[in-house]
Amino acid sequence: MSVRVIAFFNNKGGVGKTSLVYHIAWMLSKLDFRVVATDLDPQGNLSAAFLKDERLEELWPEKENQQSATIFGAVRPLKRGVGDVQEPILERINDRLVLIPGDMSLSEYEDDLSQTWRLCLDQDERAFRVMSAFWRVMQKGAERHNADVVLVDLGPNLGAINRAALIASDAVVIPLGPDLFSLQGLRNLGPTLRRWRKEWSERLTKNPVRDLDLPQGSMAPIGYIVMQHSVRQDRPVRSYDKWIARIPGVYRTYVLDEPGDNAPLVAHDKHCFALLKHYRSLMPMAQESRKPMFALKPADGALGAHTSAVQGAYNDFERLARDIAQRAHVHASAAV
């Protein structure tokens, strides 16, 4: 049985998606889930959040012919035509949390994924191996780690890499900003997910290799998170109110393909996981300390008012992580 994969995705950038994956991965591990975090964004921001520059330099070799210890290194033999996917390198973050690092070289895989999408219709064996490579690498890593869940960070686009990553996903969480651009992103994202799901389902019937396990491509949207809104007296500032008010209707219409009329307010919308605060000074402090905001200590500079803010962040992310796990049908079955 495969381990469930949750992708965090929005084709609009700048909504705090990588930070969200980072904090949810840490929180799930604190709640006794065994987690594999996977960086499928060629920019490698999730890897940079978890790892020091010195380690990243070791993972990303200078010479072109050197094998990188990243997701790209695991799929590179398949790209070169000299073999299939390899076991991924798992970077240990803590006892329950590991990372499959990203790599800027992953962008080289884009052309292969574009071409093989079409070739799957011709029952081409290599095409199915290429299209399922991300999923099979993540499942290999999950098996080695005895994981309960895989979390995936993606870049903000609708390209071939993200298509392959999303067909590898069982569930999709959509981070949003309270702005026009995020709403426009939803209008593009929903129909694209439905199209990719349908097209992959058609391709699955043409798999020529019986013993080649493939992802089912469910990519089911399980909810959205409104990120980084400014707050005054525990409410979003007025300039963002109108955008936040429109999110439930747009989400229903374009992502769920349901009527969006008479949608509830975000605060009462069952599809909204949370309206996450902008944690202001906690974020740079956490980045400097290389730890999640909710784990900051006085020695990290979390003094005075920061103490209650750290506790508030812990409460927010605990609720959010539990809710995501519940909606994605993930259970902490292998706690250490």
Counting the structural domains of the chain, the total is 1
Helix/strand number for the chain, H first, E second: 12, 10
Tens-digit pLDDT profile for residues 231-272: 555 555 666 788 899 999 999 999 999 999 999 999 999 999
Helices 180-204 and 238-250 cross at an angle (nearest 10°) of: 20
Element (H, E) at 22: helix 17-30
From the list 301, 246, 309, the residue with the least C-alpha distance to 276 is: 309
Cα angle value 50/51/57 (rounded, 5°): 150
Element (H, E) at 163: helix 160-167
Whose structure tokens read 């997910």? Answer: 193
In a domain, 323, yes or no: no
In a domain, 284, yes or no: no
- 28 contacts 325 by C-beta, under 8 angstroms: yes
The predicted model gives 109-120 an average pLDDT of 94
- DSSP conformation class of 44: -
The predicted model gives 27-47 an average pLDDT of 96
In a domain, 328, yes or no: no
The parent domain of residue 155 ranges over: 4-279
Q: How far apart are CA 252 and CA 249, in angstroms?
A: 5
> What are the structure tokens assigned to 35, written together?
């987690």
- Is the confidence at residue 56, as pLDDT, over 50? yes
At 290 the three-state DSSP class reads coil
CATH number at residue 123: 3.40.50.300
> What are the structure tokens assigned to 24, written together?
């949810």
In a domain, 190, yes or no: yes
- Is the confidence at residue 167, as pLDDT, over 60? yes
In a domain, 140, yes or no: yes
pLDDT band at 80 (very low <50, low <70, confident <90, very high): confident
- Is the confidence at residue 193, as pLDDT, over 90? yes
Q: Mean pLDDT score of the chain, rounded to an integer?
A: 91
Tens-digit pLDDT profile for residues 269-291: 999 999 988 777 788 888 888 89
In a domain, 175, yes or no: yes
* 275: CB partners within 8 A, 6+ apart: 225, 226, 229, 236, 244, 266, 267
297 against 170, higher pLDDT: 170
Whose structure tokens read 């903000």? Answer: 156
- Is the confidence at residue 14, as pLDDT, over 80? no
- Is the confidence at residue 306, as pLDDT, over 90? no
pTM recorded for the entire structure: 0.94
pLDDT band at 69 (very low <50, low <70, confident <90, very high): confident
In a domain, 315, yes or no: no
Tens-digit pLDDT profile for residues 195-210: 999 999 999 999 999 8
34 against 290, higher pLDDT: 34
Q: How far apart are CA 225 and CA 25, in angstroms?
A: 16
Q: Using the Cα atoms of residue 112, residue 114, residue 119 and residue 124 in order, give the sign of their dihedral.
A: positive
In a domain, 185, yes or no: yes
> What are the structure tokens assigned to 33, written together?
């889930």
The predicted model gives 308-314 an average pLDDT of 90
- Predicted local distance difference test score (pLDDT) of residue 304: 79
